[in-house]
Amino acid sequence: MKNGKYYCTSFAKGRSKELRKSMTPSERHLWYDFLHDHQPRFQRQRPIGPYIVDFICAEASLVIELDGDVHDGEEEQQHDHMRETYLKRHGFRTVRFRSRDVFENFDGMCKAIELALKDTTVEGRLT
């Protein structure tokens, strides 16, 4: 940590700005229909070290990730595991959802996020 903020590369800062401008349909739906005015506050596409997380609630140390089909590959799963290990080491819990869950089970996702915010032991994939 540097000056109270998590160190991130200049590449990650620039890339996160690009990602905020070009959200996927599932990210857009979750953000505008649930997270953007949620309390405690969430932010989207924020760099933490070398990684960019989809959504973060710093107050609850909670990261929400939306995984598309690209995350099914072995290489991507290894990358996701390294990312989660890094985030955990820095005090964050990660909850992963499939991108399609935003459209197929939106209410269930929102309830799972609320549960994760209340239960500091929740981590992993809630689907």
Domains of the chain, earliest start first: 10-120 (3.40.960.10)
* pTM of the predicted structure, to 2 decimals: 0.77
* Residues 63, 48: Cα–Cα separation, whole Å: 10
27: tokens are: 């990210």
* Residues 61, 59: Cα–Cα separation, whole Å: 6
Q: Mind listing the pLDDT tens digit for each residue in 18-43?
A: 555 668 899 999 999 999 999 999 99
* Residues 59, 57: Cα–Cα separation, whole Å: 5
* Cis upstream peptide for 40 (omega within 30°): yes
Binned at pLDDT 50, 70 and 90, residue 68 comes out as confident
- What's the one-letter identity of residue 61? S
104 touches 127 (CB < 8 A): no
Q: Is the pLDDT of residue 16 over 60?
A: no
104: tokens are: 């197929």
Q: Give pLDDT, residue 3.
A: 35
Binned at pLDDT 50, 70 and 90, residue 1 comes out as very low
Q: Mind listing the pLDDT tens digit for each residue in 80-126?
A: 788 899 999 999 999 999 999 999 999 999 999 999 998 765 554 44
Q: Is the pLDDT of residue 63 over 70?
A: yes
